[in-house]
Each structure stands twice: as structure tokens, then as C-alpha cells.
Amino acid sequence: MACIFRFCSDLSTGNRGFRRKLQTETRSPRAGSVKLVNMPVTFDDKLVVAISSRALFDLEDSHRVFEEEGVEAYCRYQIDRENELLTPGVAFGLVKKLLRVKDPKTGNPMVEVVLISRNSADTGLRVFNSIQHHDLEITRAAFSGGDEPFVYVEPFSAHLFLSANPSDVRGALQRGIAAATILPAATADTESGDEIRFAFDGDSVLFSDDAERIYKSSGLEEFSRSEKAAANQPLPGGPFKNMLAALHKMQSEYPAEQSPIRTALFTARSAPAHERVIRTLRAWNIRIDQAVFLGGLSKGEFLRTFGADIFFDDQRDHVESARDNNVAGGHVPHGVANE
């Protein structure tokens, strides 16, 4: 089909780290001649966020055409409208704020956002036109032409993948990458201000689901007993441990009171199960700005009070509670609750 073909801009597969070769001039000390030397561009010391076009922009109408009328109709729909600008999607405000984060010493951007899409380059032109219109510094993309796009998340060295497609999210999680399904919602007003507030669930997100499996199989009493006995034993890391560590590294570049990044834990745990969480973060040498132990209470109002830009949880009802309180939610389909 003419409209579907494979394209990936600025991508080199091979080693896990993303590499793009630039040519730069150097002068030979013997003859004064000029030669071209390959210099690799890397994402070292940057937070890398991969995002799908449906998470970045509101593409529900075009997705409906794809679902109801098929690929050919979708291609015609997108090409016919490639000069019609897309409106912001659920994660648009978060992305815009992330792209404003600068290194306090050099002034260089600290975040790289890459587009990962099932579109072909042909149908994806509308997305890039909208990126340019909204003045987003997104210059790298992978268009998979209908194939599974999440395979490109790893070579881009992404710390986080946000998508509206649950199967793509599961594929990224299976590769050890923090990933979440962005649920459709009214676009939250998160663009104002420079501070970015990330909120995380604990078990099955920051931590493994080991403790939650005990709760599911043996109940609250046994869970509390087990966690109290293991209070000095750090929990294994979950799919978002590395993401939290990357945020902590960014925070450490700023004086504590000036960091544009704020993090918080919102967990259904309560005392005595709180102690193991605190000691785990201490063992990881990771600072988290706020921690709220809810003991089973609904999370939505607390997330709104914190002012979260986005919240990650393995249980869909908690994500929907966030959405009901105008907080963008990412469902993490990982762990015993999703089996």
C-alpha cells in the first residue's frame, strides 16, 4: 500500500545507546589539511522521553477512522488534512514543560523527547507540522509504518515511554523500560509554570510486585506481618525505579529549593508497612520529595492537592481517580494486578 512504508529518521540500531554521526572539521598538524571526522551525538546526561503521537496530540477522530474504516481510509484522512493542525493531547502540557528544563550550569536542554509512531512518514507529516506549529523542540522520530513501534524505544535509550496503545506499552515494559498507557481525558492545564510534578504508586511501579503478591494471596494481615518482618530488607526495584533515579539525578544538579522537578509517592500502604518503603529509598540513595501513605483511600484528591502533572499506577481504578481530578494518568500494566 503506497501510503504505508517504513521510515525512521535519525536512528542507528546496534548498541543500545542512540548514535547519530555528525561530521566536523579538524586540521592536520602536519600539512594543514582539513579532514572530516565522525563525532557521535549521544543522549548522555539527558532524560529521554519517547512518546506516541496519540499521547502528544488529540488524534481520537483519526484513530476512529482507522478502527471503523481501515488503513486506506485512515491514510487518505491524514494526508487530506496534513495542513490542519492537531490540538494538544493528554501529555502535551507535560512535554512542553519538560522541554523547558535547562541545565543550570550550561543552559543546555536536560530532556530529549522523541516521537514513536505507528504512522508511516507520509501520514506522520501532519504530526510534524503540528509539532513545528506548537514550537516543540522534537526533531527525532521513528515511524514504523504499521509495525510495532515500541521496538525503537530501546535504541533511543529512553527512560520513559508514553503511549495510548496498551500492547505497545506492554512490549516496552517487557524490555525493561518504564512505560505507561495514557488514558483519554480532557487536556489538563499543566503548561503554566516551570515546575514539573511527577507522582508514582509504590508496589508494581517503583518497587517490584513481590509484596503485593503476598497481599493478593494471603490478605492484609499477612501482608502487614511480612512487611514488618522485612522492614530492613530493601524492596526489589520495579519498572519505574530507573525513571525515578534519572529524575533524582536531574534534581541533584540544582539546589534543592530551586529544582524544577518534584516527585511524590502515593501508596495504598499504611503503618507498619511504611518503614520498608522509606528504608528502600534510603538504600537506593534516591530522594523523593513527598510521600503519602493512604491506607486504601482513593488517591485522586490527594494527587490534585499535590498538583501532579502526571501519575503512574498499576491499577486502572487509581488512574481513573486521578483523571477524575484533572490529573493526567498513566496506567502501568505490570505485576500481579494485571495478570
Strand pairing report for 160-163 and 196-200: unpaired
Burial of 186 (0-12, 13-18, 19+ CB in 10 A): exposed
The three-state DSSP-derived secondary structure of 163-183 is: ECCHHHHHHHHHCCCEEEEEC
DSSP 257: G
Tell me the C-alpha distance between 329 and 207, whole Å: 18
Rounded to a whole number of angstroms, the CA Rg of the chain reads: 22
**CA 228, chain centre distance (Å):** 32
Supply angle C-alpha 194, 319, 67, rounded to 5.
100
Q: Which helix (H) or strand (E) holds 199?
A: strand 196-200
Residue 117 and residue 52 in contact, taking contact as beta carbons nearer than 8 Å: yes
Tell me the C-alpha distance between 33 and 177, whole Å: 46
Output the CA–CA distances (angstroms, integers) from residue 151 to 37, 117, 148, 180, in the order listed: 30, 11, 7, 15
Residues noted as catalytic: 201
Helices (H), the chain: 53-56, 60-69, 71-80, 92-98, 121-133, 166-174, 210-218, 220-229, 241-251, 274-284, 300-306, 316-324
Q: Is the peptide bond before 104 cis (omega within 30 degrees of 0)?
A: no
**CA 15, chain centre distance (Å):** 22
- Other Cβ atoms within 10 Å of 176 Cβ, number: 10
* Nearest Cα residue to 241 out of 267, 208, 198: 208
